[in-house]
Amino acid sequence: MDFEIPEETQMVVDTVRRFVTEKVQPLEMATEEAAIIPADALARVKAEAQALGLYALNMPEAVGGGGLSTVDMCLVEEQLGQTSDALIRRVFGQVYPMLMACDAAQTERYLKPTVRGDLITAMAITEPGAGSDAAAISTTATADGDDFLISGTKHFISDGDIADYVIVMALTDAEKRARGGITLFLVDRGTPGFKVARTQKMMGHRGYGHAELVFDNCRVPRSAILGELGEGFKLIMASVAAVRLAHIGARSVGMAQRVLELMREQANGRKQFGQPIGDFQMVQQMIADTAMDIFATRMMVLNTAWEIDQNRDVRAKVSMVKVFASEMLGRVADRGIQIFGGYGFTKELPLERIYRDSRVTRIYDGTSEVHRMLIARSVMKRGLSL
Ligand SMILES: Cc1cc2nc3c(=O)[nH]c(=O)nc-3n(C[C@H](O)[C@H](O)[C@H](O)COP(=O)(O)OP(=O)(O)OC[C@H]3O[C@@H](n4cnc5c(N)ncnc54)[C@H](O)[C@@H]3O)c2cc1C
């Protein structure tokens, strides 16, 4: 097994690392304070990222993306994790891989402009009555001649407040549900019957919004269907593995590495009782545990990414990474604050933001409990095939 990172991948990783440190991290404080990314600075930095080819790196080259393998994307995501989710979305793009199911016309109208960074999209699955049990949605899309009428409410939708168009999951056959009765639709902002009802304030992720979206007999043409009629659930499930791995797994590694770096500086620099606090064994334990946590998660992420690149079925492994990485980040963020004492609790360091932002990684993209259930089911059926 070759663990060497190829030179060209390392160059991309180094470029992203420099870009994040020099151009993106300086925007964090202002974004946190105002809960909005400073517009001028964002336009400048996003244009620079695009010029360097760092936008939508996860998408295939054929549609204008970076064309990275899953392993390479995870190595890049570790670097993206060195800043906040809000900034990653806006500067480097948030393009959902399921958009690869666009037909020729949709590719020109939605996919390519999104990959270029001209359009913003959101994905609307969750509803007030259906979260973990996504197949229990009650939003319906009823055929009406050549059109469909969408009715229902979605909530917690990231970027739902500003998206130019939303990928909406709706029931087209209430009997079949996940087995052929759920369809994805591309719905433009401003379509009559579609409104952003309210934004929902969150404990973290300042700098981008989460919204409740209401569809009331919202008429869309048949050509708005993404993929095939009735195949929406399958399409989502087929594309979430790589997203979970990169956005939660690899990004958590990056965020934890940033925390460890701060912990290291503090342990070496801060003196109490006449000596660096890093001389105290209980402080050393925090550092050692954090280093082990990061190392273990990183290996899990990269191994699973490699298996995805070999087209292997890694659903249970992705669930393991999702749970382990998100819980690891929670532990690390907590230790980071602890090692800084009172200073860790202030808003002068990125630690308290990371502490708040990291909490949701155990909730979205499937809660820890649901993923544990999936892992257990898989192990009970097939054993632990690593
Ligand atoms: C910041 C943020 C951004 C989000 N962005 C999006 C987005 O862009 N698009 C979108 O569609 N959704 C989004 N979501 C929604 C997110 O995916 C859901 O919150 C998540 O799936 C959990 O659903 P729920 O909140 O309804 O919790 P519930 O499903 O009600 O879960 C409540 C509790 O019950 C537990 N539970 C549920 N079922 C089981 C079970 N079978 N076994 C054991 N325990 C169980 C859960 O683990 C949890 O502890 C976002 C949420 C947040 C907070």
The maximal CA–CA distance of the chain, rounded, in angstroms, is: 80
For residue 210, the cross-strand partners are 158
Ligand 1 centroid to residue 137 C-alpha, Å? 13
According to the model, what pLDDT value does residue 374 have?
97
Mean pLDDT on 346-365: 97
For ligand 1, atom 39, the nearest C-alpha belongs to: 370
Element (H, E) at 268: helix 251-269
Residue 77 lies in a domain: yes
Q: Which of 202, 328, 348 is nearest to 254 (CA)?
A: 328
Q: Which of 80, 78, 70 is nearest to 19 (CA)?
A: 80
Which protein residues are within 6 Å of ligand 1, measured from CB? 122-126, 131-132, 156-158, 202, 205, 210, 360, 363-364, 367, 369-370, 373
Mean pLDDT on 338-356: 98
- Can you tell me which atom of ligand 1 is nearest the CA of 124? 11
Are residue 188 and residue 169 in the same domain, yes or no?
A: yes
Are residue 251 and residue 357 in the same domain, yes or no?
A: yes
Residue 321 lies in a domain: yes
Residue 241 lies in a domain: yes
**pLDDT tens digits, residue range 275-321?**
999 999 999 999 999 999 999 999 999 999 999 999 999 999 999 99
What's the CA gap between 88 and 371, in Å, rounded? 25
Ligand 1 centroid to residue 132 C-alpha, Å? 5
What's the CA gap between 153 and 279, in Å, rounded? 55
Are residue 91 and residue 31 in the same domain, yes or no?
A: yes
Residue 212 lies in a domain: yes
Domain boundary residue, one of 198, 226, 254 = 226
What's the CA gap between 299 and 325, in Å, rounded? 11
- The CATH code of the domain that includes 26 is 1.10.540.10
According to the model, what pLDDT value does residue 363 have?
98
Provide the number of structural domains found in the chain: 3
pLDDT-derived band at 385, boundaries 50, 70, 90: confident
- Can you tell me which atom of ligand 1 is nearest the CA of 130? 26
Q: Name residues whose C-beta falls within 8 Å of residue 51's C-beta, 6 or more positions apart in sequence.
A: none
Are residue 169 and residue 44 in the same domain, yes or no?
A: no
- The CATH code of the domain that includes 275 is 1.20.140.10
Residue 7 has pLDDT above 80, yes or no: yes
Domain boundary residue, one of 95, 111, 142 = 95
Residue 115 lies in a domain: no
Are residue 210 and residue 254 in the same domain, yes or no?
A: no
Question: To the nearest whole number, what is the mean pLDDT of the chain?
Answer: 97
Structure tokens at 130: 């259906």
pLDDT-derived band at 165, boundaries 50, 70, 90: very high
pTM of the model: 0.96
According to the model, what pLDDT value does residue 2 have?
83
For ligand 1, atom 23, the nearest C-alpha belongs to: 131
What's the CA gap between 299 and 174, in Å, rounded? 42
CB atoms within 10 A of CB 189: 18
Ligand 1 centroid to residue 5 C-alpha, Å? 36
Residue 271 lies in a domain: yes
Q: What are the E-state strand segments in the chain?
A: 121-124, 140-144, 147-158, 165-171, 182-188, 194-199, 210-221, 225-226, 271-272, 275-276
Measured CA distances, 325 to 150, 254, 284 (Å): 37, 11, 22
Are residue 138 and residue 199 in the same domain, yes or no?
A: yes
- The CATH code of the domain that includes 197 is 2.40.110.10
What's the CA gap between 94 and 100, in Å, rounded? 14
Identity of residue 311: N
Residue 1 has pLDDT above 90, yes or no: no
| Contact present, 223 and 105 (Cβ < 8 Å) | yes
Residue 114 lies in a domain: no
- Can you tell me which atom of ligand 1 is nearest the CA of 210? 3
Measured CA distances, 354 to 184, 250, 298 (Å): 33, 15, 18
Q: What is the SS3 string spanning 310-329?
A: CCCCCHHHHHHHHHHHHHHH
Supply the DSSP symbol for 124: E
Are residue 222 and residue 255 in the same domain, yes or no?
A: no
Q: Integer distance in angstroms from the first to the last C-alpha of the chain?
A: 15
Are residue 148 and residue 193 in the same domain, yes or no?
A: yes
Are residue 238 and residue 378 in the same domain, yes or no?
A: yes
Are residue 83 and residue 128 in the same domain, yes or no?
A: no
For ligand 1, atom 32, the nearest C-alpha belongs to: 132
What's the CA gap between 167 and 98, in Å, rounded? 10
Ligand 1 centroid to residue 364 C-alpha, Å? 6
Q: Whole domain around residue 378: which residue ranges?
A: 234-382
Residue 107 lies in a domain: no
| Contact present, 301 and 249 (Cβ < 8 Å) | yes
Q: Name residues whose C-beta falls within 8 Å of residue 15's C-beta, 6 or more positions apart in sequence.
A: 52, 54
Are residue 280 and residue 356 in the same domain, yes or no?
A: yes
What's the CA gap between 83 and 166, in Å, rounded? 25
Domain boundary residue, one of 95, 112, 134 = 95
Ligand 1 centroid to residue 366 C-alpha, Å? 6
Mean pLDDT on 136-143: 98
**pLDDT tens digits, residue range 240-254?**
988 999 999 999 999
| Contact present, 86 and 207 (Cβ < 8 Å) | yes
Are residue 129 and residue 255 in the same domain, yes or no?
A: no
